[in-house]
Each structure stands twice: as C-alpha cells, then as structure tokens.
Chain A
Amino acid sequence: MKTFLILGAGTAGTMIARKMAAHLDANHWKVIVVDKNDRHYYQPGFLFLPFGYYKEDDVVKPIRNFIAKGVEYIQAEVDQLEPAQNRVTLANGRVINYDYLVVATGTDIHPEETEGLKNGGWHQNIFDFYTFDGAMAMAPAISDFKGGRLVVNVVENPIKCPVAPLEFLFLADAYFTRKGIRSKVDIVYATPLPGAFTKPVASSVLGKILEKKHINVEAEFNAGVVDASRNILASYDEREISYDLLVSIPLNKGASFLGAAGIGDELNHVRVDKQTLQSTQFENIWALGDAANIPASKAGAVIHFQMETAYKNILQHMAGQSLTHHFDGHALCYIETGFDKATLIDFDYTHQPFPGKYPLPGVGPFDLLGETTVNHWGKLAFRHIYYMMMRGIEVPLPTDFSMSGKKQILDQSPA
C-alpha cells in the first residue's frame, strides 16, 4: 500500500485530496490529509466580519464536511518533515511514511516580527482581519468607533490576497459614510508599494478610486516599529503616522516546519517550479495554494486554476512521464469597492489586469476593472460557489487565462 499525504485541509488541501482519491486506485493507494484545525474557514469572508456583514456561521464549517470519501483525515499539528526520508512526524507522535507529499499549509500572519506590534495595543486598538479571531475581535472596535484616524498598514509583501487591504478601506469608507460620521474619520493606507496595487494599470484604476473616496495613501512605507503607548506607527525611514485604530496586515510566512525541512524560502514558502508546482528539490513533493513560493497572488481562485494542472502533473510523474501541464499563474479577484459595488481583475504571470468583460468576452456579465453592482453580486455569490467547490461540485469557470475581449493598455509606468 502506498501513501499519498497532504498537509493542510484548507482550500488547496481539500481540493487535491478529492482529486487524488478520485484518480488513484484505492487498492494500492491511501490518501491521508492532516490539519491542525477541525474548522474549515471561508477566508475571503473574513473581510466582512469586522463590519458585521457576515457572522461566524457564514465563514466557519467543520472540516469533515469537505473531506472526500476514501480520504483519511487526521487532526494534528505537524512536528517535523524529513523530505530525504519521505517522512512526517506529527505532534502526537505518529509517524507517516509517504510516497508522495502535497504541502498545502498556506501562509499565516506573524505580528511578532514587527517591533511593538503585539506589545500593548494588540486586539485593543490594533487588529488584523486575516485570521478569524482577529476579524471577530475587530467588530466591536469598528461599531464603537466615533471618529479619528483609521490606518490600514501592509507590513511587507507578499501577502495573502493583495486586494483585501483595499477592500477593507473601501468598506470602511462606505460603513462610516452610512453611519453619518465619515467627515470625522481620517482613513490612511500605509503601504510598502509605490501605489495602490502591484500591477500598473490596476494600480492606477484602484488609486483613482481611493482618491475619489478621500482615502490618503502613504506610499513606500516600510513599517518598522509600533509604539502602542503613543499610538504611533513608524517606518524604517522614520516617518510617523499616528492612529486611533490600526488595522495591520502583518508579515506573512509559511509553516515553520517547512523552513526547518529546508524546502522553504526565506519566508518558509515552498520553492517550486512556477509552472508544474513540483518542489525544485524533491520530485515527490508538490506545494499548492498559498504555501508555494510562486509569483502569483495568494488567493482561492488561483488554487482553483492550479488544480487542473497540478493533479495531472502528479499522475504523469507517477506514471514515469514528463510533466506537460503548465500553470499560467491565473488569478481572478472580485474587489469590493463599497456601497454594494465591486470591481473584478483577471491576470496571470505575464499579463496584468486589463479592462474588459468576464467570463464571456464582450458580454460579461462581469466588468473587469469597472465598478458595478453586478460584480458585487458576483462577490457575494462566490461564497456559495466556494462551498460547492469544496464539496466537489464542478464549477464551470474557464481555467486558462485569456486576453480575448480585453483592452490592452500600454504601460504608463513600469511594473
């Protein structure tokens, strides 16, 4: 009996477990998935928790609901991975010898890596919304906010879902406007990037939306220290921003056992070939989703697009064939812009987001880089589509990126 081991039962781990159980002969293969949690989070929904638009039930389900038939699920922490021995030791002492390994342990926030961020103000007037606990803890601080300066800060890139900080800003603007206190709230976005987003055309479009909403951008801001006693966020080049409420997107890192195993980069994201998603060091190891160090967005839609190529490559490798399926870095993100509107971006490794229609060229119904109510409905509907995907119901979205029906805009500024 051979073992196909998957570490992590989030979006990527859940999907690949189902694919492998469906394609491997159960008489010869055992598929095991390990996760430290027994809860499956709809992570894109965390954004809505601080504003009270979603409740706990909307974003939390038992992991077991999504584990495919024939897959063994073990709830345990990983203690050690020894890739040269094809061996994983769990915190409960159990040792699993594997033939193939998929790492899908994601990426997580590390506030302790920024001086002062966790000293004093954490979960008092400093919050994150990238964890369930952080987003829930922030909700009363948002509803009780009477005015002052709200600062959203990205400590360092890459981060999971690079558009979420923008969405948070747009939603905060709409929330305080509807409450009638927007004029008393100063909203600031402090980012290490030179502008609103990583890609030039989208950055310009999103930058204009920020401007229109009177959200001030403090660009090229590398957060160095938080002084919670004075409510000051300071950059390494000694710029100081005072805050009444600080929403931090702390440094993102992969699981520490990956660094210890020698297969992670300086942020513990697994070094893989960006097209095949196979480890560059061990040919029986793959990394999917946020855990991989590919230069694509860390987002659920990316995982959906990865899945087709990844499982076929794994099957080819098992059959001793060369890997012919290449992931193109395709990402698709709905971006909430507030007041029940949203925009949408579609891009890959080589093409930045451009305006156009999606998924049907020229027809839509969704507008790429346009702000529409239909896009907002798409965003809300996505939660239901997500849970369908996690249950293994096929969703008819084109996997490969396409430029058809899009207006290519020449770069005004370099990427």
Chain B
Amino acid sequence: MTDLVNVALNAEGFMIDPNQWTKEIAEILARQEGIDVLTPEHWRIIDFCRTTGLASGKAPTLRQITVGTGISTKDLFALYPKGPAKKVAKIAGLGKPEGCV
C-alpha cells in the first residue's frame, strides 16, 4: 500500500514532480477529492491528461479535455464533480491548469 508520505505536494495539493506519479498515488489523490473508485472512464481522461500534459508541460484545460477525448462537459462534470480540469490535473500528478490569462 502506497501512501503520500514521500510525494512532494505544493500548498494547493498539486504534485510538484509529475514523474513521481503512479497509478496507486492517483487512487489515493482521487479518494481525497471524493472519488472513491476510478472507473475505466475516469482512467481514459487521466491517461489523456498525462499524455498531453507531459508533452506540453501544462495540464490541459476543460475545453482541451472535451475536444481531445470526445467526452461531453456534462459527463466530465459527472465523473469529476465541481472543477473537472483542476481535479483531473491533481489526480494525474500535473500542475494546476492555466485556463486563462
């Protein structure tokens, strides 16, 4: 059983080093965000965010996730209630998404 003792987090609970991330850490972070079980649909979004986030160095925005995965905003909110982009970024071990400037 992994825990978060050795995982570096910033003040808002985002992982500082995305390379420290594991699937087990994701499950713990998800529980902290109120998501008890990560279903295959949850994972599809996490995998998308990991792939694009690591390539660009930035967590994807809500719009990038819906366009990139084909999952509707409504469904995304059902899977990750309240702020999906922020929540997925946190669970996927990425920084906070810069939705705006």
A→B interface (CB under 8 Å): 156-158, 162, 192-193, 198, 220, 222, 224, 236-237, 266-267, 295-297, 414-415
Whether B100 and A224, one on each chain, are in contact in the complex, defined by CB atoms closer than 8 angstroms, is: no
Whether A193 and B77, one on each chain, are in contact in the complex, defined by CB atoms closer than 8 angstroms, is: no
- Which of B10, B11, B82, B100 gathers most chain A CB within 10 Å? B100
Q: Which residues of chain B (34-88) have a CB below 8 Å from chain A?
A: 62-64, 67-68, 73-74, 77, 81-83
**Chain B residues near A162 (CB-CB < 8 A):** 100-101
Minimum CB distance partner of B82 in chain A: A237
Q: How far, in angstroms, from A415 to B14 measured CA to CA in the complex?
A: 13
Partner of B100, one of A198, A220, A237: A198
Whether B62 and A156, one on each chain, are in contact in the complex, defined by CB atoms closer than 8 angstroms, is: yes
Once A and B bind, how many residue pairs between them come within 8 Å at the CB atom?
44
Partner of B74, one of A156, A193, A236, A414: A236
Whether A193 and B100, one on each chain, are in contact in the complex, defined by CB atoms closer than 8 angstroms, is: yes
Counting from the closest, the 8 A-B pairs by CB-CB distance are: A157-B100, A266-B67, A236-B77, A198-B100, A295-B101, A157-B99, A237-B82, A158-B100
Whether A237 and B11, one on each chain, are in contact in the complex, defined by CB atoms closer than 8 angstroms, is: no
**Chain A residues near B98 (CB-CB < 8 A):** 295, 415
Asked whether A414 and B11 contact (CB < 8 A) given A158-B101, A220-B83, A266-B67, the answer is: yes
B→A interface (CB under 8 Å): 10-12, 62-64, 67-68, 73-74, 77, 81-83, 96, 98-101
Q: How far, in angstroms, from A381 to B10 measured CA to CA in the complex?
A: 45
Q: How far, in angstroms, from A281 to B99 measured CA to CA in the complex?
A: 23
**Chain A residues near B64 (CB-CB < 8 A):** 266
Whether B73 and A296, one on each chain, are in contact in the complex, defined by CB atoms closer than 8 angstroms, is: no
Can you report 15 residue pairs joining A to B where beta carbons are below 8 Å apart?
A157-B99, A157-B101, A192-B99, A198-B100, A220-B82, A222-B73, A222-B83, A236-B73, A237-B77, A266-B67, A267-B63, A295-B98, A414-B10, A414-B12, A414-B96
Minimum CB distance partner of A267 in chain B: B63
Report whether over half of chain B's contact residues are helix, strand or loop; otherwise say mixed. Answer: loop
Min distance, Cβ A29 to any Cβ of chain B, angstroms: 34
**Chain A residues near B12 (CB-CB < 8 A):** 414
**Chain A residues near B74 (CB-CB < 8 A):** 224, 236
Q: How far, in angstroms, from A296 to B101 measured CA to CA in the complex?
A: 6
- Which of B62, B64, B68, B101 gathers most chain A CB within 10 Å? B101
Q: How far, in angstroms, from A156 to B82 measured CA to CA in the complex?
A: 15
Whether B101 and A222, one on each chain, are in contact in the complex, defined by CB atoms closer than 8 angstroms, is: no
**Chain B residues near A156 (CB-CB < 8 A):** 62-63
**Seed contacts A193-B99, A224-B73; 8 additional CB < 8 Å A-B pairs:** A157-B100, A158-B101, A222-B62, A222-B83, A266-B67, A295-B101, A414-B10, A415-B98
Minimum CB distance partner of B96 in chain A: A414
Q: How far, in angstroms, from A296 to B98 measured CA to CA in the complex?
A: 12
Partner of B81, one of A192, A237, A296: A237
Whether B73 and A297, one on each chain, are in contact in the complex, defined by CB atoms closer than 8 angstroms, is: no
Whether A266 and B101, one on each chain, are in contact in the complex, defined by CB atoms closer than 8 angstroms, is: no
Minimum CB distance partner of B98 in chain A: A295
- Which of B10, B12, B64, B77 gathers most chain A CB within 10 Å? B77
Minimum CB distance partner of A296 in chain B: B101
Minimum CB distance partner of A198 in chain B: B100
Q: How far, in angstroms, from A292 to B64 measured CA to CA in the complex?
A: 16
Min distance, Cβ B9 to any Cβ of chain A, angstroms: 13
**Chain A residues near B11 (CB-CB < 8 A):** 414
Minimum CB distance partner of B14 in chain A: A414
Min distance, Cβ B89 to any Cβ of chain A, angstroms: 13
Minimum CB distance partner of B99 in chain A: A157
**Chain A residues near B67 (CB-CB < 8 A):** 266
Q: How far, in angstroms, from A112 to B6 measured CA to CA in the complex?
A: 47
